[in-house]
Amino acid sequence: MFNDIAQKLENALNKRVQNGPTEASIDLLGWMARTALELIGQSGFGYSFDNMEDDVPKHKYSLVIKDLVQAGVGSTIFTRTLLMNAVPWKAVHEVRDMVMYRHEFSVKVYEEKKRALEEGDEAVMRQLGQGKDILMKDNIDADAEDKLNEDEIIAQVFLSSPSYSPKSDLFLLDVTWISRTFIFAAMDTTSNAMSRILQLLTVHPDVQDKMRQEISQARRERQGENLSYDELVTLPYLDAVCRETMRLYPPVAHVLRRATEDSVVPLSKPVRGIDGQEITEVIVPKGTMVDISIINSNRNTDFWGSDAMEWNPSDGSLPFRILSLMPRSQESTLICKPDTFQTWYFDSELTDCVLSNSMTFIGGSRSCIGFKFSQLEMKVIISMLVEKFNPVVVGGDGHPKLPLLVESAK
Ligand code: HEM
């Protein structure tokens, strides 16, 4: 399914670059968002949102989901729409209608797919099975003690619903929460990451060439066939580029956690208070909301070296920087303790991050469950784009801007 969607993207771009780069400036950010939505739509919900042919996506959901993100509307339909009905403003009613559309559409797709599965529709089973397999792969590869069963993974998503309470019937939870969580979590994160990689490749043509060589070589060894999941994820340079981009430009810059117990957090470096006293730890009472800065941790020179602000997928001695492990004893390592719902704290024993010590997908029991999915998605799409196209900078000032220009790779 991933390769099919990559093929559709390739066809769409080919059509638009066939007259040469001066003819076609393509909004790759837009195409990455369409691709990410199509991938999560097909594999998560068995639903296709986009034929990947038209200049702009035609499905109302694709447009509504983007507009709602901009409008910052996150909570349930009931509170929002009651409030919104009372306000006599056209703009508010437009947002209300989008919320209603999203809800009704999610329920419709959910019911259609449920019926198809109950009736034993093999195509739907296969399609949803593929998506689930990728989501579960991370878990399958996990150590025995960290492994969750399928119900626990699904429950993890339900538990993140604001309408969840221990007494609630899971089936009565707002269905849109599930679709929204997945679509929101899966779409802009991965599409922004892929766009960032493409932007970086325009300013680092040497990296682009090296990646292209690695991908073409691997494909030659496969006699031109598509690379399998295992082959693709083990291409070292492609991996290094993805990981280093995820470190320096994490699509989710920070997350919020509420302390579920009183904690004393040791600081890695003492700081001085306004009274001149040295502070070596911070008291965090139960219930405190804590803003965890993923981006600052990922760019911390103590962990990543003095050139932490530079994008450097290969440091020469190591295959890539990200493997230069942050010391496990590092006292300031921020973790989400496994098995403790909504608990965060600093711990000297554990560095429990999903992506080799970078905080990009956070860590612990509330870490990103789409890590493997996004890793595969990024690699399938980026490897195709780098092999077949050459993203170049629009305009003459050498500063990359969106839309980027693409031309066929020679
Ligand atoms: C580069 C891509 C991605 C990044 C950087 C990313 C990062 C994150 C982060 C930091 C969180 C924690 C958010 C928080 O606790 O506030 C999270 C949660 C989540 N992610 Fe991702 N994500 C990515 C792609 C995906 C994909 C492709 C999917 C689905 C296929 C996905 C599904 C989820 C879900 C369902 C959660 C909520 C888990 C929970 O609350 O227990 N993510 N992600």
Q: For residue 128, give every residue at least 6 positions away whose Cβ sits within 8 Å of its Cβ, in sequence order, or none.
A: 43, 44, 45, 46, 113, 117
pLDDT at 158 over 70: no
Q: Span 2-245+371-408: which CATH code?
A: 1.10.630.10
- Judged on CB neighbours under 10 Å (0-12, 13-18, 19+), 330 is middle
Residue 259 has a pLDDT of 86
Q: For residue 114, give every residue at least 6 positions away whose Cβ sits within 8 Å of its Cβ, in sequence order, or none.
A: none
Cβ(177) – ligand 1 distance below 6 Å? no
pLDDT at 266 over 70: yes
Residue 148 has a pLDDT of 53
Domain extents for the chain? 2-245+371-408, 252-366
How many angstroms separate the alpha carbon of residue 368 from the centre of ligand 1? Answer: 4
CB distance 119 to 104 below 8 Å: no
Indicate which residue's Cα is closest to atom 10 of ligand 1: 361
Query: Is the Cα torsion angle 282, 287, 293, 298 positive or negative in sign?
Result: positive
Segments in 119-174 forming alpha helices (H): 122-141, 150-159
Q: What angle do CA 287, 288, 289 make, to 5 degrees?
A: 115
Ligand 1 atom closest to the Cα of residue 44 is 30
Q: Calculate mean pLDDT across residues 310-314.
A: 84
Question: The tokens of 35 are what?
Answer: 């691709």
pLDDT grade, residue 133 (50/70/90)? low
Q: What is the DSSP letter of 323?
A: G
Residue 207 has a pLDDT of 92
Task: Give the least confident one: 69-78, 156-165, 230-239.
Answer: 156-165
How many angstroms separate the alpha carbon of residue 24 from the centre of ligand 1? Answer: 34
pLDDT at 304 over 60: yes
Q: What is the DSSP letter of 351?
A: -
Indicate which residue's Cα is closest to atom 18 of ligand 1: 368
Long-range CB contact pairs, 44-49, < 8 A, 24+: 44/128, 44/131, 44/182, 44/183, 44/186, 45/109, 45/110, 45/113, 45/128, 45/179, 45/182, 46/113, 46/116, 46/124, 46/127, 46/128, 47/109, 47/113
Counting ligand 1 atoms within 8 A of each CB, the residue from 298, 359, 368, 376 with the most, and so the one to mutate, is: 368
Residue with tokens 């530079």: 310
* Percent of the chain whose predicted confidence (pLDDT) is above 90: 11
Residues in the chain, overall count: 410
Residue 73 has a pLDDT of 59
pLDDT grade, residue 135 (50/70/90)? low
Indicate which residue's Cα is closest to atom 13 of ligand 1: 255
Distance set, CA 137 to CA 2, 4, 129, 223, 301 (Å): 15, 20, 12, 27, 33
Query: Tens digits of per-residue pLDDT, 79-89?
Result: 566 777 777 77
Residues of the binding site for heme: 368
Q: What angle do CA 131, 137, 138 make, to 5 degrees?
A: 125
pLDDT at 254 over 70: yes
ipTM above 0.90, yes or no: yes
Query: Tens digits of per-residue pLDDT, 365-399?
Result: 677 878 888 888 899 999 999 998 888 776 656 56
**Coil, helix or strand for 267?**
strand
Question: The tokens of 267 are what?
Answer: 């600081």
Question: The tokens of 270 are what?
Answer: 């003492």
Q: Calculate mean pLDDT across residues 229-247.
A: 86
Cβ(40) – ligand 1 distance below 6 Å? yes
**Coil, helix or strand for 56?**
coil
Q: Calculate mean pLDDT across residues 143-147.
A: 53
What pairs with residue 25 in β-bridges?
A: 405
Q: Calculate mean pLDDT across residues 246-250.
A: 91
Cβ(156) – ligand 1 distance below 6 Å? yes
What pairs with residue 408 in β-bridges?
A: 389
**Coil, helix or strand for 141?**
helix
Ligand 1 atom closest to the Cα of residue 36 is 27
Q: Calculate mean pLDDT across residues 309-325.
A: 56
Cβ(304) – ligand 1 distance below 6 Å? no
Q: Mean pLDDT of all residues in the chain?
A: 72
**CA-wise closest residue to 350 among 338, 360, 358, 368:** 338
Query: Tens digits of per-residue pLDDT, 186-198?
Result: 778 898 899 999 9
Residues of the binding site: 368
Residue 74 has a pLDDT of 58
Q: Calculate mean pLDDT across residues 230-249.
A: 87
Residue 233 has a pLDDT of 81
Residue 212 has a pLDDT of 93
Cβ(295) – ligand 1 distance below 6 Å? no
Cβ(292) – ligand 1 distance below 6 Å? no
pLDDT at 45 over 50: yes
Task: Give the rounded distance of the alpha carbon of 278 from its chain centre.
Answer: 39
Residue 177 has a pLDDT of 56
Residue 403 has a pLDDT of 56
End-to-end CA distance of the chain: 27
Counting ligand 1 atoms within 8 A of each CB, the residue from 5, 130, 179, 189 with the most, and so the one to mutate, is: 189
How many angstroms separate the alpha carbon of residue 1 from the centre of ligand 1? Answer: 21
In angstroms, the CA 371 to CA 375 distance is: 6
pLDDT at 105 over 80: no
Task: Give the least confident one: 128-132, 214-218, 292-296.
Answer: 128-132
Indicate which residue's Cα is closest to atom 11 of ligand 1: 368
Of residues 354 and 250, more confidently modeled: 250
pLDDT at 248 over 70: yes
Residue with tokens 């320096």: 248
pLDDT grade, residue 330 (50/70/90)? very low
